[in-house]
Amino acid sequence: MAKVSILFIFLACFLLSDLVVSQRLARYNVDPSSLTVSGLSAGAAMATQFHFAHSSEVFGAGIVAGCHSPVPYNCAAGGLVAATMCMTMPAATNVNTLITQTNQRHSNGQIDSPANIRGDRVFIFHGTRDTTVMPGNGVHVQTMYTHFGAQIATEFTLPASHGFPSHNFGAACSASSANTAWINNCDYRGAFLMLNHLYGGNLIAPNDNSAIPGNLMNFDQAEFFAFGPALSSMANTGFVYVPTDCQFGAQCRLHVAFHGCLQSSSNVGNTFALRAGYLETAEVNNIIVLFPQTISLMLTNPNACFDWWGYLNNLFATRQGNQIIATHRMISRIIRG
């Protein structure tokens, strides 16, 4: 009898904990015209893909260099070989060809009209000490966004390695940040400066203790996939930060932050979400931040990257891409319920 009771208690605690970490993503009072995206590394490529795929709904993008980006939209459409060339041989990238292919994707009904990007705010960061992705890629991203009429701010001068630039957490700015969740301490408020540009330059600068860790919540990602998130290299659980005022009905903005390779919850827990600097800025400016999460696939995606080279299928950079579909459903839930 004692063994049965212990087993019952264990199962009850397990089920209760699963309910706690897998709550349903809720609707909030969000201004639909406030949607912006950003990403680090492969997440930066994902942010660019999502921006172009849903440019009628997304009004700004932050592109932060890291392990695998920034690269221009559609640069890796040729698969892993093309992706490697995009990263390591920027001189071989023909931006005019990518622009033509982008327009063709719109003509084929795969993405929104890139004309929607005119006037959108874009922030591009690429450190001078990034030895994985050559500096020319940041310029290519700028060239492509300039062609489509975006309002661009850049930072290409900081001696940063491949990681997210922070002012108070992480490895030394020019050092590897593999042991600090791919965040570098560059005495540079990367998240605030990026979000401030995306939202017009009038955000309140936060204090270091502005964030409320309890407002970073886990939510069930599985419900946004027809056949289970693992088949799309996505986790069962994602993160969302909901500022206090947003929880009580204030009108808020919405930002989506895509993590980089080896930066998912299965690799670093919630450290990227908690320590990159997004939350402080979000709390004092009423910005809800959605952090979708990937998982690794042993053969095709061992580093838990977002799909920016087609490891799932060749529609990865379009509205029909598995991860883009699911993320769009999450966004729709937050805005429309």
The domain segmentation of the chain, as residue ranges, is: 27-336
Residue 13 pLDDT level (bands cut at 50, 70, 90) = very low
Which residue type occupies 37? V
Please report the pLDDT score of residue 86 as a whole number.
Answer: 54
Confidence grade of residue 124 (pLDDT, cut at 50, 70, 90): very high
Confidence of residue 132 (pLDDT cuts 50, 70, 90): low
328 given a catalytic annotation: no
When pLDDT is cut at 50, 70 and 90, the band that residue 10 belongs to is very low
The amino acid at residue 92 is A
| Predicted local confidence at residue 93, as pLDDT | 61
The answer to whether 45 touches 76, Cβ cutoff 8 Å, is yes
Q: What is residue 153's predicted lDDT score, i.e. its pLDDT?
A: 97
For position 137, what pLDDT does the model report?
52
- Look at residue 14 and tell me whether its pLDDT is greater than 50: no
Q: How far apart are CA 221 and CA 147, in angstroms?
A: 35
Chain mean pLDDT for the chain: 87
Q: What is the model's pLDDT at position 49? A: 96
pTM, entire model: 0.88
Active-site choice (41, 55, 69, 264): 41
Which DSSP state fits 215?
G
**Look-up of token digits 């939350």:** 279
Output the pLDDT for position 3.
35
> Of the listed 112, 120, 130, 307, which one is catalytic?
130
Q: Which one is catalytic: 54, 68, 126, 162?
A: 162
Q: CA dist 102 to 42, 118, 148, 172, Å?
A: 19, 15, 11, 38
Give percent above pLDDT 70 in the chain: 82
What is the distance between the alpha carbons of residues 36 and 64, in angstroms, rounded to a whole number?
Answer: 14
Q: What is the mean pLDDT of residues 71-87?
A: 53
Stronger pLDDT, 161 or 335, i.e. the higher one = 335
pLDDT given at position 94: 77
pLDDT band at 126 (very low <50, low <70, confident <90, very high): confident
Q: Is 126 a catalytic residue?
A: no
Residue 85 has pLDDT above 90, yes or no: no
Residue 97: its pLDDT value, please? 86
- Neighbour count for residue 312 (Cβ, 10 Å): 17
Q: Is 41 a catalytic residue?
A: yes
What was the pLDDT predicted at 286?
A: 98
Answer with the residue of higher pLDDT: 156 or 140.
156
What's the rounded mean pLDDT across residues 115-123?
98
Q: Is 215's pLDDT higher than 60? A: yes
User: Does the structure show a pLDDT above 80 at 304?
Assistant: yes
Q: Is the pLDDT of residue 12 over 60?
A: no
Question: For residue 114, which amino acid is it?
Answer: P
Q: Would you say residue 186 has pLDDT above 80?
A: yes
Q: In Å, what is the CA distance from 184 to each residue of 88, 156, 162, 163?
A: 22, 15, 8, 6
